[in-house]
Amino acid sequence: MTRRVRIIGAPTDYGANRRGVDMGPSAIRYAGLADELEAAGVACRDDGDLTVPRMEERVPDAEVPPAGTARFLRETREVCSALADRVADSIDAGAVPLALGGDHSIAIGSLSGSARDASVGAIWFDAHGDFNTPTTSPSGNVHGMPLAAALGVGDFTAEAYDWARALGLDPAHVALVGLRSLDDDERDAIRDSAVTAYTMSDIDQRGIAAVVDDALDVATDGTDGMHVSLDLDWLDPTVAPGVGTPVRGGVTYREAHLAMEAVARSGSLRSMELVEVNPVLDEHNETAALAVELAASAFGKRVL
């Protein structure tokens, strides 16, 4: 075994609008994550879960943003700051951190930890752009804001969000893959930014292999490695039913595996997260099992 992985659970649903995603880390572990990674030739260590108080014990507006609305902002800051430290410590120890969500707001912590002392690229496999800010978000749910937060877009330039910005992450090294659901202001913000965005139409027209290869070039050219953020709603809901914000028309089972196999071949994976698995909405834990399969592919599992 030549590669080491540290699993870090972040069982939070502070950023989501449907309950249950906080059970995602348990569901993914139950689906055999450690065994699958070890079968892929990876030395796996599970560091357990971050301590995350239940939503019922907290107040959504205990900490308000300088402008707009961001629900459970204090709680998100606490979780993401702790996760950032765990991610950075894992990298310092020579391991690849694999964070298990929870909702996608945890990516703020993953990215800031991965980019703490390095130039990092990122590939965002997601149906959504996650490029909203507290003033553009229709819901105030932070799981729709993590990429904008990490890049310091719009409202997130404020000093109050110093904890959220990933200082070593340049938008020119960020690629979004498989977009198919954007809010109007979010769409404008993506167009005005230096990030590279590929919609499902791009995948339909060019094929998943060509799109992912281009995304890898974006994320790895001149960087110290890349962060991969895999939201399970990137896949079509017929394949991954257990997610909180499903959108029809996503990638297929084989397209998703091909993408993760390309990530493995790149040899540039620095950190990764699996997010938005919701066992309450799942069928026989199949979305969690799929998350496990895709993680194994990203870390080098092959048929031959």
Whether residue 264 contacts residue 299, with contact meaning beta carbons closer than 8 Å, is answered with yes
In the annotation, is 185 catalytic? Answer: no
Q: Known catalytic residue: 202? A: no
User: Would you call 231 a catalytic residue per the annotation?
Assistant: yes
Which one of the listed residues 36, 49, 103, 128 is annotated catalytic? 128
Known catalytic residue: 103? Answer: no
257 is catalytic: no
Per DSSP, which regions of the chain are E strands? 3-10, 42-49, 96-101, 120-125, 169-179, 196-199, 226-231, 269-275
- Dist CA 257 CA 40 (whole Å): 14
35 is catalytic: no
Catalytic status, residue 276: yes
Separation between Cα atoms, residue 24 and residue 13, nearest integer Å: 10
**Whole-angstrom Cα distance, residue 226 to residue 263?**
9
Distance CA(76)–CA(124), nearest Å, equals 20
d(CA 112, CA 234): 22
Amino acid at 24: G
Residue in 22, 36, 155, 233 annotated catalytic = 233
Which member of 104, 173, 227, 257 is catalytic? 104
Catalytic residue among 13, 126, 170, 261: 126
Given the residues 36, 49, 130, 236, the one annotated as active site: 130
Catalytic option among 22, 143, 227, 261: 143
233 is catalytic: yes
Please tell me which residue in 49, 231, 236, 261 is annotated as part of the active site.
231
Q: Are 12 and 79 in contact (CB under 8 A)?
A: yes
CB atoms within 10 A of CB 155: 22
Which residues are part of the catalytic machinery?
104, 126, 128, 130, 143, 231, 233, 276
